[in-house]
Structure 1
Amino acid sequence: MNHSEQDVKNDTIERYNAKERINHWIVAITFVLLALSGLALFHPSMFWLSFVLGGGPWTRILHPFIGLVMFICFAVLAIGFWRHNLIEKNDVEWLKGIRDVVNNREENLPPVGRYNGGQKLLFWMMIGCMIGLLLSGVVIWRAWFSWMFPIFVIRAAAVLHAVCAFLLIAGIVVHIYAAIWIKGTVRAMTRGTVPRAWARKHHPAWYRKMTGE
């Protein structure tokens, strides 16, 4: 009997394995460090946030390297999960029924697979933002690459970097809120498993696939 079958017998279903959870939390921790240090570099009024990386000089040095760590780890997650995040017909219908989603009337919605339409949109938005942050970050990485580009390219890259960062921060805030709002979601990324009842209620199509019921 494999691990997933044992979980089902124990009234739980494996949602994320240990490697996926560790990678997720590396992305989460690096994101927090980058968001705070990025805000410190964005405007003088928020420069005090540079304390998270040891002050101004260390923030300027470490911010891009931590960014590379986050991008690489997120890329591993994206490669592992992109197939589960392809937009399908049910996802479009789910998004059209957003009022039922907000009012917790899930019985009125089409059956959800491993991820719902909102999670899938967030996934692809995050991929776009991550790519934008990487490319623009390389352009504005002073002493390493910025000398290779004309000033107007550097300015455009700085704007793109700020826009992508803002969208990513907003998206992650929604992600965290949704994880707390739907009770039992956080457990999936801490223990790796979810109760069968949770899966049956919130992701019925995925539940049927995992259990054969």
Structure 2
Amino acid sequence: MIRRQILRYTANQRTNHWLVAIFFFLAALSGLALFHPALFWLSHLFGGGPWTRILHPFMGVVMFVLFLGLVLQFFRANFFITNDRLWLRRVGPVMRNEEEGVPAIGKYNPGQKLLFWTLLLCMLVLLFSGLVIWRAYFSQYFGITAIRWAMLLHAVAGLILVLSIIVHIYAGIWIKGSVSAMTHGWVSRAWAKKHHELWYREVTRDEHPERPVNRKG
């Protein structure tokens, strides 16, 4: 059977996403090692305590820069529309995988959009608070009160970011086809129409790239 698929993510977008994921885990693990003595054993992954303290802020900056690349590509698709509010009112059936009668949505559903803006806010807080407490370069320009508040904000934003990523991973696994879309870039017409009908109408009307896939059935 010949089936046509729709391009959801380009190779550059997928590479950007996975690089952000890699540096997120590196920054998270090194940050946890510095957060509490009970987790200090994680510092061995980075060559010990001193190297963990040196590498953590650099990995955080790289993560932010890479994430900014995703923001520039996807922020327009994450603006809320009227159907998003209607979709949220029917979130119960969506959670039961019963999407018939649920308002059509664009490339991202409201949950994904909320996650996107939460991640962006957390990244910004982590960046600026991290600069304040970065002892090697910037902390000498700030008073002790500012540094203490920055450390608190850094910890809170880091916790929210980790929890948000856990939700992101769970949702990606829960919605069948989401992970494969970020690995090979393509989704079926049926998947696009079921989960993101407005986006499906847009890309098929605009004749975005599609490819034939041969399947035996």
Q: TM-score range by the shorter chain?
A: over 0.9
Among 87, 90, 113, which residue is 2:83 paired with?
90
CA offset digits 1:108-146 (Å, max 9, x no partner): 310011000000010011110000000000000012111
- Higher helix share goes to which structure? 1
Number of the residue aligned with 1:40 = 33
Number of the residue aligned with 2:140 = 147
Number of the residue aligned with 1:165 = 158
Q: CA RMSD in A?
A: 1.3
Number of the residue aligned with 2:123 = 130
C-alpha distance in 2 between matches for 1:203 and 1:51: 44
C-alpha distance in 2 between matches for 1:126 and 1:149: 26
C-alpha distance in 2 between matches for 1:168 and 1:155: 20
Number of the residue aligned with 1:197 = 190
- Extract unaligned runs of 5+ from structure 1: 1-8
Letter of the 1:146 counterpart? S
Letter of the 2:75 counterpart? W
TM-score (normalised: structure 2): 0.91
TM-score (normalised: structure 1): 0.93
Query: SS of 1:200's equivalent?
Result: helix
| Superposed structure 1 runs of 4+ greater than 6 Å apart | none
Identity of aligned residues (%): 58
Among 63, 68, 77, which residue is 1:75 paired with?
68
Which shows bigger deviation, 194-203 or 129-138? 194-203
The structure showing larger relative contact order (alpha-carbon pairs under 8 Å, at least 6 residues apart) is: 2
Give the number of aligned pairs: 205
C-alpha distance in 2 between matches for 1:95 and 1:52: 42
Following superposition, the deviation at residue 175 of structure 1 comes to: 0.4
